[in-house]
Amino acid sequence: PLGRTLSDGEVREASVYLHHKKGHRVPVSVRVSPVYDRNDSIIGAVEIFSDNTKNISILKELEVLKNESLTDELTQVGNRRFAEYEISRRLKALRKREIGFGILFFDIDKFKSINDTHGHNIGDDALKMISKTVFNIIRSLDAICRWGGDEFIVILPNVDEKKLGIVAEKIRTFIEKSWLEAGDDTIRFTLSIGGTLAVPGDTEDSLIERADQFMYQSKQGGRNRSSIG
């Protein structure tokens, strides 16, 4: 936006993701306005950045989840209990009202090696960074939950297989391009992702097992990829 405004003088707005000093990505709105000299020539531009994090209602909802012990203490996203509750609720809606949904199941590639090399504090920072990044790039009606260890589930209502694959690739790409600093080291991460759509005959176990199988298909295919089916 800045380069184009310097060229043509048009005021522009855009949504971008900036890299936070703690590693995760933050959604930001950018407004660019040209600056003119006395001869009406463009001599610069002003950029105004505004935090575009999900609105206060989402924060209040998270507070409710905390009070109900449905939030993971480390990452501050939904925990396994919340994931189980949400999947059960979505399955009932699928059977009764045909409201479809899909899930993505992923873990961090070679996470044990990261812990062993850099320590558990860096491992914890990685879990927090990745969960915050995913939370910031999914829709407000979607949910990310920590299933256990370095495994996460994303629950996405009203998606088809194509959309599920697009979201999976968006998550994978954002994490691949994020990093943490540990002393003189820059630590990068990748994910193996599996995804599937729920069908009326599914149980919670069958749905998660199917997504888990696709995740391992991604791992067997070389990691840092998504498999949807």
Q: Which of 124, 150, 184, 212 is catalytic?
A: 150
Burial 50-69 (b: 16+ CB within 10 A, else e): eeeeeeeeeeeebeebeeee
Tell me the C-alpha to C-alpha distance, in Å, between residue 25 and each of 17, 51, 56.
Answer: 6, 11, 19
The string of DSSP codes covering 156-173 is EES--HHHHHHHHHHHHH
Told to judge if 185 belongs to the known catalytic residues of this protein, a careful annotator would answer no
Interhelix angle 161-176/120-137, nearest 10 degrees: 140
Integer Cα distance of 154 and 133 in angstroms: 12
Integer Cα distance of 128 and 55 in angstroms: 20
Q: Which residues are catalytic?
A: 150
